[in-house]
Structure 1
Amino acid sequence: MEFLGRASSWRKPRNKIFGYRTGQYQCTQKQTDFAEDTTQGNFSNMASSWCKISPIIPIFVFLLLVSSLVCPVQSSEHSEERAANQTFRPEEELQKLKLIRSRLRKINKPAVKTIQSPDGDFIDCVVSHLQPAFDHPLLKGKKPLYPPDRPKGHNQMGVVEENFQLWSMSGESCPEGTIPVRRTTEQDMLRASSVRRFGRKPRKYVRRDSSSDGHEHAVGYVSGEQYYGAKASINVWAPRVANQYEFSLSQMWVISGSFGDDLNTIEAGWQVSPELYGDNYPRFFTYWTSDAYQATGCYNLLCSGFVQTNTKIAIGAAISPTSSYEGGQFDISLLVWKDPKHGNWWLEFGSGVLVGYWPSFLFTHLQDHASMVQFGGEVVNSRPDGFHTSTQMGSGHLAGEGFGKASYFRNLQVVDWDNSLVPLSNLRVLADHPSCYDIQGGINNVWGNYFYYGGPGRNVECP
């Protein structure tokens, strides 16, 4: 992970490019509920006035009659709206609450220590072999594996101690033998559109030939060979997300199988998701599925699956600092690769820091190799009010604005059959709606293969 200045301070090469056009930047905003204040008079003074100025009494009586006619109607309308929007069914609510508490008991494990983050998160230090992954029948009673060798050609400069998450900036850390886990709260689950599918992406949302399901992409991808991993550096932004049920993310996908029910994916990157996290911070995340997002897989550590080995990184925690328009550019490095010995897929984040692994038994096609690797951005377009969403992708600016303004992926590489990192040879790019979010790529000696991507969403050319 690096903090980059202007073009003169570019450093660290890797692979790929794409970009063009101009967009509009908007800062992240929070919605606030406003309540109208009703001014109340001094009743004792009013009574005194009535006594002293009797001719005014008829006027007051008239006003009181009018208000008595108007106020009940307004109150009735408001209560009817509340009743329509919040129909209270005690049995259903009780069942929902029981389901939420049952899920929370599975997700949240006993903590040796708890650290409160400045953004309001609680980070629980959980004994590593008691983390959610070990609820899986094939992992019960086992302990995390030791890390494998990195791919050949990996420039590991030594593990650098970095504070890139808000919760760790206090200087507190988890004890040895534990891992930091972002605590899931009742509020997190109540925000979810479906409690039963909490922590999962919508079913069968993955399409690359259409965005009719509401998901839009600007991605670079390679296919047609056997891939055993991928690496990239991504700059981190805090894009504006228009409403609670949309998100904006930038990630790598390691994919195998068809885009039908047998799709296997491993995913990692950063995302802004008000529904999942309750705020607009960009957060480091992981995901996996072995059946096209139907019944398997989840974000982060919200189900048994990913095994975390790192004691300093909390998956799902906010990333800080972030890039700024025409200012400093802050990026993170991600590496996913398949351990040739055990077949597990490992994740490295930052400067040589191993996060953990996805056991090979979680998958069908990915037990062997990937058939496609993708890099890029994705948003949900729910078309509020019948128009394209104003949710931003990346920086919120189109690719043509270039460095310091548009989002980028740089130093794109894949891992080959020999466990070696190699440059991409046949990168293709795709933007579902180029007038809303676009992508442009290239190659040079400093960044290798790279691309710029992103956009503002709704604009004059994207109605």
Structure 2
Amino acid sequence: MGMAGFTVALMMIWVIISPCVNGKEFSNHKEIEVERLLKRLNKHALISIKCEDGDIIDCVPIHSQLAFDHPLLKNHNIKMRPSFIPESTSTYTKNDTNDTQAWHKNEICPENTVSIRRIKKEDILRSGSIENFGKKMTPGIRLYGSSSIHEYAIMRAKKGKYFGTQFVVNIWKPKVQEPNEFSLAQTWLSSGVGAKLNTIEVGVQVYPGISGDKNLRLFVFWTADGYGKTGCYNIDCPGFVQTSNRITVGRAYKSVSKYEGVQHVLPILIWKDVDRWWLQVDKEVVGYWPDKIFSSLGKGATDIDWGGEIVNEKTGGKHTSTEMGSGHFAKEGFKKASYFKNLMIVDKSNTLIEPQGLYSDVTNENCYSIKKGRNGTAWGISFFYGGSGRNAKCP
């Protein structure tokens, strides 16, 4: 073989093997980037607690948590307690059972630490890319009508000026058909529109694409630019400042409501105190969002919604069988359908009052539904909601 032939042959061999070499180099590069991200996200823990379901809870010193990596929170003045907590006028019925998170039977984190669910390699890989980690895989949850895959059954307050909300949500473990579908029950506090949309979102959800399992988990979410570059779930990015060593955002609940059986609920309160929005779950102050991370919510919310939402990927051209809430329709009522009760809003005088002029909004009542509760009862302002997804009327 002449020199020219040898050169051509060598080039052909390189063309054949180079994709494998480059692929390996890319794989190694991605591995390194993931490891670097994990080191940034998972702060040094004083102790770690292994949970039965595979989660690891890290007890991280309060001043070391990820929130303070946010460029606007350098030298942030941490507050352990709010200056006030709006007084609750809610009355819980004897049929309700408040529940604790699954890991509490082991132990709680020491004082001056916060309980953080450790982020694992597979959590990042599920997101598809480092850039997408912590973000909503199907953005636009508050942008109703912007995406046909989002379906909801919600109660909405008329536009106004709101400084918080309090409610009791009935918790279930809905079945979710596809990994990138979810089923949630939450509140939205928001201001602005489009790319200037600011939201604070709190509730419970089953979301395999985020958690890697089908457990019901407490979650928080925020965005300052319409689900663009800012914001994330839980503490997957800097922003939410946790103060609790007992309640862990992103953690599972071990008990849920049973059809015609015991009903489990979760009381939630969100309110604005001077320069931050505080979160209280089951009477425990969990933490806060500093006003600095938002562009407009610092002045209060203009919209508040409560209710359920699912993602419908229409696999095989059919409506998803992902359930909302209990998987039963609103008309079935107590112990069968899911509910929100004792809805309250915080007004400009920091007083908890019942919201007026509420109205329901449903994408398709054949798939999921909502029904207002009776006024004048211990449940206050309330509603039932839920549904099975795919059925004879929702093909």
Same fold by TM-score greater than 0.5: yes
2:45, 2:61 within 8 Å by CA — same for their partners in 1?
A: yes
Q: For 1:105, what is the secondary structure of its paired residue?
A: helix
- C-alpha displacement at 1:156, in angstroms? 9.2
Quote the Cα distance in structure 1 between the aligned partners of 2:143 and 2:366.
17
SS in 2 for 1:448: coil
SS of residue matched to 1:223:
coil
Identity %, equivalent residues: 43
What is the identity, as a one-letter code, of the residue corresponding to 1:166?
A: A
Q: Which of residues 347, 361, 376 is equivalent to 2:279?
A: 347
* Pairing partner for 2:309 from 369, 374, 378: 378
Q: Is 1:395 aligned to residue 326 of structure 2?
A: yes
Aligned to 2:335: 404
Native 8 Å contact 1:163 1:169 kept in 2: no
What SS does structure 1 have at the residue aligned with 2:151?
Answer: strand
Residue pair 2:142, 2:188 contacting (<8 A) in 1 also: no
Output the amino acid matched with 2:123: D
- The aligned counterpart of 2:173 is 238
The one of 34, 43, 67 equivalent to 1:133 is 67
Which residue is 2:162 aligned to?
A: 227
> CA 1:363–1:167 in structure 2 vs 1: closer, same or farther (change >3 Å)?
same
Question: 1:375: Cα distance to partner?
Answer: 0.3
CA deviations 1:302-350 (Å, max 9, x no partner) are: 11100001111111010121101110000001111000xx321000100
Aligned residue identity for 1:449: I
Structure-2 residue corresponding to 1:10: none
Q: Do the aligned partners of residues 176 and 274 (structure 1) sit closer, same or farther apart at CA in structure 2, a change above 3 Å counting?
A: same
Counterparts of 1:343 and 1:142 in 2: how far apart (Å)? 12
Shift in Å, 1:358 = 0.2
Tell me, in whole angstroms, the C-alpha distance in 2 between the residues paired with 1:253 and 1:150: 22
- 2:52 is aligned to 118
User: What's the offset of the Cα at 1:89?
Assistant: 2.8
State the distance in 2 between where 1:149 and 1:433 align.
43
After TM superposition, the runs of 4+ consecutive aligned structure 1 residues lying more than 4 A away are none
Find the counterpart in structure 1 of residue 233 from structure 2: 299
Matched residues in 2 for 1:195 and 1:462: separation? 37
Task: Give me the whole-angstrom Cα distance separating, in 2, the residues matched to 1:435 and 1:205.
Answer: 23
The one of 374, 380, 385 equivalent to 1:448 is: 380
Point out the more displaced range, 191-200 or 297-306.
Answer: 191-200
Q: Could you say if the C-alpha distance between residues 155 and 440 of structure 1 is closer, same or farther in structure 2, counting changes exceeding 3 Å?
A: closer
- 1:212 Cα shift? 3.7
Separation in 1, partners of 2:241, 2:275: 14
Q: Indicate the residue corresponding to 1:164 in structure 2.
A: 100
Picking from 345, 360, 369, the partner of 1:414 is: 345
Partner of 1:154: 88
CA RMSD of aligned residues (A): 2.0
Deviation at 1:461, TM superposition (A): 0.6
TM-aligned CA deviation for residue 151 of structure 1? 4.6
Deviation, 1:444, is 3.2
State whether residues 203 and 293 of structure 1, in contact with CA within 8 Å, keep that contact through their aligned partners in structure 2: no
Q: Is the 8 A contact 1:151 1:420 kept in 2?
A: no
Measured after TM superposition, the shift of residue 169 of structure 1 is 1.5
How do residues 127-276 of structure 1 correspond to structure 2 at under 5 angstroms?
127-155=61-89, 164-170=100-106, 172-202=107-137, 204-206=139-141, 209-210=144-145, 212-258=147-193, 260-276=194-210
5+ residue gaps, structure 2, are 1-21, 92-97
**SS of corresponding position for 1:224:** coil
TM-score by length of 1: 0.76
- CA-to-aligned-CA distance 1:28-76 (integer Å, 9 cap, x gap): xxxxxxxxxxxxxxxxxxxxxxxxxxxxxxxxxxxxxxxxxxxxxxxxx
Q: Which has the higher contact order (CA 8 A, sep 6+)?
A: 1
Q: Return the alpha-carbon distance in structure 2 between the equivalents of residues 313 and 150 of structure 1.
A: 20
Q: Cα distance 1:243–1:152, how it changes in 2: closer, same or farther (>3 A)?
A: closer
* Rounded Cα–Cα distance in structure 2 between residues aligned with 1:163 and 1:441: 25
Where 1:389 maps in the other structure, the secondary structure is coil
DSSP-derived class of the 2:161 partner: strand
Residue 451 (structure 1) shift: 0.6
Distance 2:171 2:247 in 1: 16
User: What's the offset of the Cα at 1:163?
Assistant: 6.0
Structure with larger Rg = 1
Paired residue secondary structure (1:226): coil
Q: TM-score, normalised by structure 2?
A: 0.89
Q: Per-residue displacement from partner, 1:125-144 (whole Å, max 9, x unpaired)?
A: 00011001011123234452
Measure the CA separation in 2 of the matches of 1:338 and 1:219: 23
Structure 1 unmatched runs, 5+:
1-87
- Please tell me whether the aligned partners of residues 205 and 213 of structure 1 are also in contact (alpha carbons under 8 angstroms): no
8 Å CA contact 1:203–1:292 kept in 2: the answer is no
CA distance 1:106–1:225, shift in 2 (3 Å): same
Task: Establish whether residue 333 from structure 1 lines up as the match of residue 274 from structure 2.
Answer: no
Deviation at 1:155, TM superposition (A): 4.6
Instruction: Figure out how many residues of one structure are paired with residues of the other and give that number.
Output: 369
Cα distance, 1:99 vs structure 2: 2.3
What is the alpha-carbon distance in structure 1 between the residues aligned to residue 84 and residue 156 of structure 2? 23
Aligned to 1:424: 355
- What is the CA–CA distance in structure 2 between the aligned matches of 1:186 and 1:354, rounded to whole Å? 30
